Structure 1
Amino acid sequence: MAANLALLLTGSLCLLLVVALIKTLHKFWWTPLRIQHAKNLQGINGPPYKFIQGNNKETLKLRKEALSKPMASLSHDILPRAHAHVYARINLYGKNYLSWAGNTAQIHITEPELVKEVLKNSERIFPKKTSRERKKRDDTFIINKIIGDGLIASEGEKWAKQRKLANYAFHGESLKSMTPAMIASVENMLQKWKQFEGKEVEVLEELRLLTSEVISRTAFGSSYLEGKKIFDMLMRLTVLSSRNMFKTKFPVISKFWKSADFIEADKVAKKIHNCVMEIVKKREEKVLSGEANNFGTDFLGLLLNAFHDPNKNNMLSEQDLVDECKTFYFAGHETANSSLGWTILLLAINPDWQEKARKEVFEVFGNQTPHSEGIGRLRINEA
């Protein structure tokens, strides 16, 4: 009896292993090769698929090589550096090609007219990935810790509710009220720069500090140090995410074993959650103590009104509240910082436009501090 039972268990285990092997081969070998063959017949070529890893190893190598040396000259032709793998494959396989992120097929389209055609007919074809879908792929899991299920990732009714809150916080009148805080932050930065006269300044880092201060003060009513702590942790998550973007994750093993980067990302995400909730509790305590009669009209105040809304349909959960704060801290900071840095670079290499922009500012404001009414009359600077 025992021998029969052992034989049965051994047979069942062998059957399970065979089924698992067949499924693995179907997912990571047969299906990719079938897709690759079908696309080749349609005239779409690309680097050959490699078992499990796809083209990740080659992509990572091309990116590292491009970023290991400075650009030869300042130029708008940045594709060879920013997306070295795309640039190399366009030259090898044409403007439209097939590549592999692990076992996921990716068709790259770089012909402008074809891109327009795809986007023109794409209503609901490219939905946002849900939080659950993002977690399925290990290489995007750290990104999920950065934005959570905030405005960038959400859809449907949840997106509409979150977008409504953002619209209230950043309509024209609200932005006008933020202008003094923005001006004060810029003046502080320029005052600090005076000590660097005749020396080099790491402008992008200075702008990172500036935008973090402005966002902390105007959107969350928090101190620069509180905001800087959150920004620094979000930047750390960004570094971890970028470092793991093109690393191959092996099936089954990656679900039970986490690398040092993913363990660190978990810890950083928890710290960000706690930091955001500390800022929230300070605002709540002001209302409870009678120091303030409402949560405020900035972005954090509107989020807190929704967080405490008695109507469950309008209420934000604690995780939603944190995700929205993280989304705005990260997205607002990155877009503003990058835009300012790029603008200063363009002005530096185009002194004629720099002079035109400076002249317009003096024509509109003279020697006065900029104000919201005058900003709307800046045409060259808007461009």
Structure 2
Amino acid sequence: METFGKVAVTIFIVVIMRWAWKVVNMVWLKPKKLEKWLRNEGYKGNSYKFPLGDMREVATMIKEGRSKPSPITHDITSYALPFDHHIITKYGEKSFIWVGPNPRMYVTDPELIKEILSRPNEFQKQHPEPFRDSIIGGLLVSEGHKWTKHRKIINPAFNLQNLKIMFSAIRSSCSDMVHKLELLIGGTDYTEVDVWPYIDNLAGEVISRTAFGSNYKEGEKIFRIQRDQVDLLFQMLSILYLPGRRFIPTRANKKFKQNCEELHTLLKGIIDKKKKAIETGECSCDDLLGILLESNSKEIEENGVGMSMEDVIEECKLFYIAGSDTTSSLIVWTMVCLGLHKEWQVLAREEIQKVFGNRELDFEGLKNLKVLTMILYEALRLYPPVVMMERATVKETKLGNMMIPPGMQLALAMIQIHHDRDIWGEDANEFKPERFSDGMLNATKGKGSSPYFPFSSGPRICIGQNFALTEAKTAITMILQSFSFELSPSYKHSPFPVFTLPPQFGAHLILRNIT
């Protein structure tokens, strides 16, 4: 027994020492090693501070930024990413920040970003990433074989033929929104409206109808929960990257966990209901979920393995937040830009009248709206739905003339590049859709298309970009057919990123009925 006791104590000590070594390595030795490499490569940043790095300062700047509006300007980088802008301004483009014990180096060269995005197996999504993983899952965060399989299963849902089928639902939802705005004006000449809730609801209704064959009311709870989750994450931002954060018994943590369970139950119910309806022949597979389930069944029949129920739930979460937030962001900032630059409203409205006249919008006709396409491209440049992307190395990896060590995070500074005067010219912070008159390739000052990537690029380019652009074109076209508009005196400019780039203080416009 005495020998057994000594062995047990020895094992316990060894386990504790191994655990302690891992912790020390994670929170001190590895960060200091990576910091040394960064400084040897000419990168500058704050010294590492145990255990949160720069996160306390990040949280403070974000809290301050969210509390007040920005000047009305398209030069939004310092407002949208206050801490990142502060670090890059202080240390230069070759700089880095500390996300907890992990350094994150900025990549601002468009060609290097293009290379990173074209090599997704070597430069992967950061795992784990608490902010992202708490809300978004599915295809967006999958890697390797799982991503390849899921992309294959989901691809049919977003092909051109199915987009044409779903167009009537998109058009119907846009028509409903326009009608609600018309009722607000009534018999008056004009009215002031915060259009953001209407656009946000429009995007929610479109994804509910096209993804789940339901109306917005059925998806309302899902949107409420996801919005609540985002607010809770901001409340926990200063501890979000702390190891074991989810076990800290704060009120926000407890509420977040409850919301996760409720969201899972709601989505599982929608999926089960859809599967039963398909099996009994009560509905066809003409929405995103139905097409996904049909494609998944085919994959299982052919290869024996497809998506699990949990996988499908994660993809549905992604449908909701990515499918709605990206598009609503594009539509609202396009309206803000057109409210500031009314001459482009006139040009777009003239083109819409020429293409459609008095007939109903159709899918094919949208392709002929060249001016509106230029306007949307410029809005995406100035106000990209995702302002920055992150990647990480899983092993020593060559990039340009550097050999980057494993475990290094890379911040792909999209919004910095979209506003770079060296790429776009001295008018980089001005709304000038004419820069896209000869297409994306010729919009930059001889730099090609690599500096423009609002939907990412490479093999992992956004699967829903055509869906988003179709919805945005339809919505803006129908709005311009019915209204002229300008910014209200009460408008507060507030492009502050969450997952996408919503206007945190709304979008107050003066609407005038022109029909």
Indicate the structure with greater helix content: 1
CA distance, structure 1, for counterparts of residue 317 and residue 211 of structure 2: 12
2:222 maps to: 230
* CA offsets 1:337-376 (integer angstroms, 9 cap, x no match): 1111111111111111111001110111112221112111
Moved more, 177-186 or 275-284: 275-284
1:176 maps to: 164
1:341 maps to: 332
1:193 maps to: 181
2:367 maps to: 376
List runs of 5+ in structure 2 lacking aligned partners.
375-515
Q: What is the 5 A alignment of 1:211-290? A: 211-247=203-239, 249-251=241-243, 254=245, 256-290=247-281
* CA offsets 1:169-195 (integer angstroms, 9 cap, x no match): 222222222222222212211111123
The alignment status of 1:117 with 2:108, answered yes or no, reads no
1:159 maps to: 147
CA distance, structure 1, for counterparts of residue 36 and residue 329 of structure 2: 41
> In structure 2, do the counterparts of structure 1 residues 33 and 315 end up closer, same or farther at CA, with 3 Å as the change threshold?
closer
* CA offsets 1:25-48 (integer angstroms, 9 cap, x no match): 443233323432443343322112
Deviation, 1:17, is 5.7
Q: What is the 5 A alignment of 1:52-67? A: 52-67=51-66
Amino acid at match of 1:185: S
Moved more, 318-327 or 63-72: 63-72
2:384 maps to: none
2:410 maps to: none
1:107 maps to: 105
Structure with larger RCO (C-alpha < 8 A, sep 6+): 2
Deviation, 1:281, is 3.1
Equivalenced residue count is 366
2:28 maps to: 29
The alignment status of 1:45 with 2:44, answered yes or no, reads yes
Q: What is the 5 A alignment of 1:123-162? A: 123=119, 124-129=121-126, 133-134=127-128, 139-140=130-131, 143-148=132-137, 150-162=138-150
Are the aligned partners of 2:100 and 2:242 in contact in 1 as well (CA < 8 Å)? no
SS in structure 1 at match of 2:193: coil
SS in structure 1 at match of 2:112: helix
The alignment status of 1:302 with 2:277, answered yes or no, reads no
CA distance, structure 1, for counterparts of residue 279 and residue 107 of structure 2: 56
CA distance, structure 1, for counterparts of residue 228 and residue 246 of structure 2: 23
Are the aligned partners of 1:217 and 1:224 in contact in 2 as well (CA < 8 Å)? yes
SS in structure 2 at match of 1:367: coil
SS in structure 2 at match of 1:327: helix
> In structure 2, do the counterparts of structure 1 residues 303 and 356 end up closer, same or farther at CA, with 3 Å as the change threshold?
same
> In structure 2, do the counterparts of structure 1 residues 127 and 39 end up closer, same or farther at CA, with 3 Å as the change threshold?
closer
* TM-score, length basis structure 2: 0.64
The alignment status of 1:87 with 2:79, answered yes or no, reads no
Deviation, 1:225, is 0.8
SS in structure 2 at match of 1:43: coil
2:425 maps to: none
Are the aligned partners of 1:46 and 1:89 in contact in 2 as well (CA < 8 Å)? yes
1:313 maps to: 304
CA distance, structure 2, for counterparts of residue 325 and residue 107 of structure 1: 32
> In structure 2, do the counterparts of structure 1 residues 350 and 20 end up closer, same or farther at CA, with 3 Å as the change threshold?
same
Are the aligned partners of 1:67 and 1:81 in contact in 2 as well (CA < 8 Å)? no
> In structure 2, do the counterparts of structure 1 residues 167 and 31 end up closer, same or farther at CA, with 3 Å as the change threshold?
closer
> In structure 2, do the counterparts of structure 1 residues 347 and 157 end up closer, same or farther at CA, with 3 Å as the change threshold?
same
Deviation, 1:254, is 3.8
Amino acid at match of 1:299: L
CA distance, structure 1, for counterparts of residue 247 and residue 70 of structure 2: 41
Deviation, 1:6, is 8.9
List runs of 5+ in structure 1 lacking aligned partners.
none
Amino acid at match of 1:147: I
> In structure 2, do the counterparts of structure 1 residues 116 and 279 end up closer, same or farther at CA, with 3 Å as the change threshold?
same
SS in structure 1 at match of 2:192: coil
CA distance, structure 2, for counterparts of residue 161 and residue 42 of structure 1: 38
Amino acid at match of 2:277: K
Deviation, 1:249, is 4.9
1:364 maps to: 355
Structure having the higher Rg: 1
Calculate the aligned-residue CA RMSD, in Å.
2.9
SS in structure 2 at match of 1:151: helix
* TM-score, length basis structure 1: 0.84
Amino acid at match of 1:77: D
> In structure 2, do the counterparts of structure 1 residues 46 and 153 end up closer, same or farther at CA, with 3 Å as the change threshold?
same
Indicate the structure with greater strand content: 2
Deviation, 1:20, is 5.0
Are the aligned partners of 1:307 and 1:318 in contact in 2 as well (CA < 8 Å)? no
1:331 maps to: 322
2:95 maps to: 97
Are the aligned partners of 1:100 and 1:106 in contact in 2 as well (CA < 8 Å)? yes
